[in-house]
């Protein structure tokens, strides 16, 4: 490697480390705070290293709260939102990309408009509708409410990816005996897999982080998601900060693991697509 090349490499590594530090520091800070005794929390000199003797806070949080139930509920809602959103978005995305029909622009614009409405505005009407449909206080109802917000975004993202699939490949599949459904599922979807993975990330995190619907549409303690459970600790008089941080960390880790798992597909797809063919 040339001298300037090694300098460039070093600088790049430095930039990557700086970005990584900026992204990972909040997680680290959460961990340190969770292991800081209450008495030192508001001390003027902040503690930078965790105090491992305080590790018992995790055991207490695990046994003393419903954190496992909350995280499980969050996982059900997030995975459900991902599956429902992808399943519902694939076909309109394909139709918007491949078919020319009357009112096409209107459909696209309509999908776009839904993104402009704040969730809080829809809480009351959704509550009324879900009440009539017996969807209140069910995780299924929450999945549907979340999907209503993710489907339009994912539809647009997938449409863009499907636009990039050469029409010749679809025509070859038609000649080889594929029906339209076979083409979408067997030819187009594998080719837009990286975008599908990116869409899955968006839907998963929407379902995982969502708070307003989870707070209003669910009243049963056993069906609470972690975002609502966590918020329940914030009291008027006191907040057990280290417990909140410990639970927060337990709430964050599964999402990070999910992202690390899906991210491989996103990156693999990027390199596959970079080669002409």
Q: Which residues bind another protein (CB under 8 A)?
A: 166, 168-169, 171-178, 182, 185-187, 190-191, 193, 272, 275-277
- Full DSSP string of 205-259: HHHHH--HHHHHH---GGG--HHHHHHTT--SS---HHHHHHHHHHHHHHHHHHH
Is 95 or 193 the residue whose CB approaches another protein more closely?
193
Whole-angstrom CA distances from 57 to 35, 96, 249 are 7, 52, 12
Least distance to another protein, CB of residue 277, Å: 3
Is 60 or 176 the residue whose CB approaches another protein more closely?
176
In the block, which residue shows the tokens 């402009």?
116
Least distance to another protein, CB of residue 182, Å: 7
Least distance to another protein, CB of residue 177, Å: 4
Least distance to another protein, CB of residue 162, Å: 14
Least distance to another protein, CB of residue 199, Å: 18
Least distance to another protein, CB of residue 154, Å: 20
Least distance to another protein, CB of residue 101, Å: 16
Count of residues in the chain: 277
Is 21 or 190 the residue whose CB approaches another protein more closely?
190
Is 121 or 175 the residue whose CB approaches another protein more closely?
175
Is 82 or 216 the residue whose CB approaches another protein more closely?
82
Is 59 or 180 the residue whose CB approaches another protein more closely?
180
Q: What is the dihedral of CA 180, 181, 183, 184, to 10 degrees?
A: 120
User: b/e per residue, 26-56, with b = 16+ CB within 10 A?
Assistant: eeeebbbbbbbeeeeeeeeeeeeeeeeebee
Is 45 or 168 the residue whose CB approaches another protein more closely?
168
Is the Cβ–Cβ distance between 161 and 96 less than 8 Å? no
Is 41 or 272 the residue whose CB approaches another protein more closely?
272
Q: At what angle do helices 67-98 and 139-163 cross, to 10 degrees?
A: 40
- Per the rule left: phi > 0, alpha: psi between -120 and 50, beta: everything else, 102 is beta
Is the Cβ–Cβ distance between 149 and 82 less than 8 Å? no
Least distance to another protein, CB of residue 168, Å: 4
Is the Cβ–Cβ distance between 153 and 86 less than 8 Å? no
CA angle, 162 then 164 then 169, to 5°: 85
The rounded distance, in Å, linking the Cα atoms of 73 and 88 is 22
């Amino acid at each position: 490697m040339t001298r300037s090349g090694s300098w460039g490499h070093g600088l790049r590594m430095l930039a990557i480390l700086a970005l990584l530090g900026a992204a990972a520091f909040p997680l680290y800070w959460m961990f340190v705070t969770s292991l800081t005794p209450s008495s030192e929390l508001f001390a003027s000199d902040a503690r930078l290293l965790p105090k491992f003797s305080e590790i018992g806070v995790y055991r207490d949080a695990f046994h003393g709260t419903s954190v496992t139930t909350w995280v499980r509920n969050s996982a059900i809602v997030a995975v459900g939102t991902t599956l429902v959103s992808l399943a519902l978005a694939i076909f309109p995305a394909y139709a918007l990309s491949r078919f020319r029909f009357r009112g096409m622009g209107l459909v696209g614009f309509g999908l776009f408009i839904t993104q402009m409405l704040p969730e809080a505005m829809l809480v009351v009407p959704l509550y009324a509708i879900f009440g009539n449909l017996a969807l209140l206080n069910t995780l299924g109802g929450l999945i549907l409410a979340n999907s209503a917000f993710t489907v339009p975004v994912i539809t647009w993202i997938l449409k863009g990816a499907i636009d990039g699939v050469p029409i010749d490949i679809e025509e070859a599949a038609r000649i080889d005996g594929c029906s339209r459904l076979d083409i979408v599922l067997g030819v187009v979807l594998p080719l837009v897999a990286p975008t599908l993975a990116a869409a899955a990330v968006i839907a998963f995190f929407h379902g995982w982080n969502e708070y307003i619907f989870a707070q209003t549409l669910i009243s049963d303690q056993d069906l609470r998601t972690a975002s609502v459970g966590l918020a329940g600790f914030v009291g008027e008089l006191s907040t057990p900060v280290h417990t909140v941080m410990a639970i927060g960390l337990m709430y964050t880790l599964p999402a990070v693991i999910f992202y690390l798992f899906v991210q491989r597909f996103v990156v693999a797809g990027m390199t596959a697509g970079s080669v002409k063919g």
